[in-house]
A and B are shown apart, each in its own frame.
Chain A
Amino acid sequence: MWLIASAAYAASCCVGSTTSLPLRVGGSEQAVVGLTGAAEVGLARWDRAGAVVGSGLAEQAASVELGAGLRLGGQWQVGLALPARFTHRAASVSEGSGGGVGDLRAAALWEPVAENVGGSWVPVVRGGVRVPTGRDWTESEAVLLQDVTGLQGTAGLIGVQIERLQGGTPAFVGLQGELGSADDRLQPVLSPSIGVGRSLSERWTVLGSFAWTASWAPTSATGGFTARPTAGARLVHGGDGWRGWISARCDVPVPGLGRSVLQLGSLGGGLAKVF
């Protein structure tokens, strides 16, 4: 969850804390292992001009992600995330389901400045790699590409943000990026994000976030891009070596903010063991 997302798994990541984003290894923790799940549905789509229009494609999907983080020292931690996705699509006379394991992501996180107990803004830097362990569109055997679970090629991941996770009002502002290639052409993804939360008690935290993700297609001659604005909310409960959470996300149906993508909504949750 703290790993950066791709266009296929758009999310704001690399962000959060032990309470607001649950797969991040906290300052007094050594490791986290967790499983997240979500159910997703297509609501509409943005066309190429940014207008919100009805979609001729109906989509429902379920996804799970196994994630783990390990603290290497005071300033460093590493993590892995392996998603799986199962999609059902229907359009006109075609219908089908498919899925499987998605792309593996591995990253290292650097926290150069320790945050004050009272809460101070500190920088965080993340770098990593996305490995194409999923099935990309060239390997699809489905008419509606419902069995696609990953993107073409290996990609580098980079993220920077400033955050304040201690205190009663955790918050972050970040910029995530991904640079991969397909057919020897670059495929960049850029995603600025912002989030703010509130500690409801020692064990309960609620966090709202917004991310705008743009993904440029790997083609130079006739290339374009997609854009997706996503708002999310998460309620996290922590304590006694476990964290649990529920979350909701929805692409914001504002004309002009999105481009050439399905508009999605999802509900999910997860559970993590903290060491």
Chain B
Amino acid sequence: MVRWWWVSCLVGCSAPAEVLLAPTQASTNGGTYDLRFEAEPQPFLAGEAGVFRVEVRHEGDVVPSAELIIEPWMPDMGHGLSDPVDVFADGDGWHQAQLTFSMPGYWELALAFDGSPGHDGLTIAYEVE
């Protein structure tokens, strides 16, 4: 619960008006981090493990020490995934997670970053088939 609150605050308190759908790049809400995304397969398939990767940069430099928490959420139904998402950093600024969405539809990923440049977050979305 505390974890969800923390992610919600980082992402929701300054949430943009529009949630980006399957973006390839974006900046966090406060502009602290620049992000590049990779997702495989596209679209994600319900019940099948997919790979989500995000590169974290600050002012052009990778931030290998940044920590990332991912909270999947199906906003229309009010539920997420029953298991927390494990995120692995590969040391060169990329973070990787395996995601298995429980059902097709519109899913959001609340991303919360914590590193030496500061705390910041962003919500992006995917259509799962």
Can you name 15 A-B pairs with beta carbons within 8 Å?
A: A45-B105, A47-B127, A48-B105, A57-B47, A91-B45, A91-B48, A94-B100, A143-B100, A144-B46, A183-B4, A221-B8, A221-B15, A222-B19, A224-B77, A225-B76
Q: Quick check: B103 and A91 within 8 Å, CB to CB?
A: yes
- Interface size range of chain A in the complex: 35 or more
Q: How far is the CB of A90 from chain B (nearest CB, A)?
A: 7
Are B100 and A221 in contact (CB-based, < 8 A)?
A: no
Tier of interface size on chain B: 20 to 34
Q: How far is the CA of A91 from the CA of B46 in the complex (A)?
A: 6
Quick check: is A71 within 8 A (CB to CB) of the other chain?
no
Asked if B20 is at the interface of the complex by the 8 Å CB criterion, the answer is no
- Return the chain A residue nearest B82 by Cβ: A140
Report A-chain residues with C-beta under 8 Å of the C-beta of B28. none
**Chain A interface (Cβ within 8 Å of chain B)?**
45, 47-48, 55-57, 89-95, 137-145, 182-183, 187, 217-226, 259-262
Q: B129 contacts which of A48, A56, A141 (Cβ < 8 Å)?
A: A56
Query: Which chain A positions have C-beta within 8 A of B103?
Result: 57, 91, 144-145, 262
Q: Smallest CB-CB separation from B103: which chain A residue?
A: A57
Q: A47-B106, A222-B15, A260-B105 are in contact. List 14 more A-B contacts (CB 8 A).
A: A45-B104, A48-B105, A91-B45, A92-B47, A94-B47, A137-B79, A141-B82, A144-B102, A217-B74, A218-B78, A222-B123, A223-B75, A260-B77, A260-B106
